[in-house]
Amino acid sequence: MPSGPLMIIGGAEDKLGKRGILKEFVAASGGRDARILVIPTASSLGPEIVEVYEALFSKLGAGHVRAARPESREQAHDAELVAAVEGATGIFMTGGNQLKLSGVVCGTPFGDAIVAAHRRGAVVAGTSAGASIQSSHMVAFGSGGATPKQRMTQVAAGLGLVGSTVIDQHFDQRNRYGRLLMIVAQSPQLLGIGVDEDTAAVVEVVDGHEVLRVAGRGAVTILDPARMVSNAHEARRSAPLLASGVTLHVLPAGSSYDLTTRTLVPLPPVVDETEAEEIAEAGRDLRKLARDIAAGDVSPSNLRRRLARARRATETVVPRTGAPGDPGATTPLPAPDRDGDPA
């Protein structure tokens, strides 16, 4: 069975309007047959955070919603909590403190069960902190800003559902370009992925390739440092970093990116509706003409001859009877041949 989809949500997903991202998660989890597990470990809120998502997913048609909340690594070894993960078709990790989430979940039976669920086909989604933990490396904490600076952020281990990547969230809204650049400058083998709020990077396996598709209101920013030149190895303290040659991709909704080959997936052609209607109308006219010709059992060559004869007939003066020398009399035309043309 192929791995299930990953939904990496940049935080602040729409919960009151169209709720497009959450609808897609519920549908991918099985709709009425879904067994959704909410993991609110990262959140500082109490039972209310669970109640919010339980109500949302139930209203969107999920058949069964429950929560599992390990608060320590010891609890993440609990067999009952692990069994809850094993029975889920959809897993949703809430936002909050990503370092807490990583410290409690990664490297435990509970975390291993999340990875196994993904591999057996379950949908794994996460918003904010729940998005960052899906990468192999995750932002633990750090300041915002557009300029990459030494030591402006810290990195922790993630679940590794998306290999060789580092994921950041609330990306444009909190100006996190600099800290993502700092991480890839220090570790150029990693692909940097920044996800805006109310936006999801949906990762699925297509023809053996991991393909990232963008859904939602914002964009996904990808930093590919494969050919990067940096001075991260020698910059001191909080000095600005040299970061040259980074390939930048800003992907709005509907865009796709091949994570396996690190290339943009070409967009499908956009058809102009007005032009399409004009072409369709011309096609209808041509089909009608063809039917009219067929109904009269007239071949195109015969039709051309008839039209030619009709034009010549209008140009020919019809003779009238008159006495020789009469000014109104005309010379009779020669008799036509069998084809109707004058001999």
Catalytic amino acids? 128, 170, 197
H or E element in which residue 250 lies: strand 247-252
* Integer Cα distance of 232 and 239 in angstroms: 10
Dig out the tokens for 205 from the structure: 């396996």
Cβ-Cβ contacts under 8 Å for 134 (sequence gap 6 or more): 6, 8, 124, 126, 158, 159, 161, 162, 167
Show the tokens assigned to 77.
Answer: 């070894």
Cα 156 to Cα 76, 132, 332, distances in angstroms: 18, 10, 107
Asked if 192 and 181 touch (Cβ cutoff 8 Å), the reply is yes
Cβ-based neighbour number of residue 236 at 10 Å:
7
What does each C-alpha distance from 297 to 301, 303, 307, 338 come to in angstroms?
A: 12, 10, 15, 21
The answer to whether 221 touches 193, Cβ cutoff 8 Å, is: yes
- CB-based contacts of 99, cutoff 8 Å, min separation 6: 140, 141, 156
Would you say 53 and 21 are in contact if contact means Cβ atoms under 8 Å apart? no
Tokens linked to 218: 């914002």
Residues facing 6 on adjacent strands: 124, 203
Q: Are 41 and 71 in contact (CB under 8 A)?
A: yes
Length of the chain (residues): 343
C-alpha–C-alpha distance, residues 215 and 255, integer Å: 8
Contacts with 137 (C-beta within 8 Å, 6 or more apart), sequence order: 155, 156, 157, 158, 165, 166, 183, 187, 190
CB 129 within 8 A of CB 42: yes
Helices and strands in the chain: count of H runs, count of E runs: 9, 17
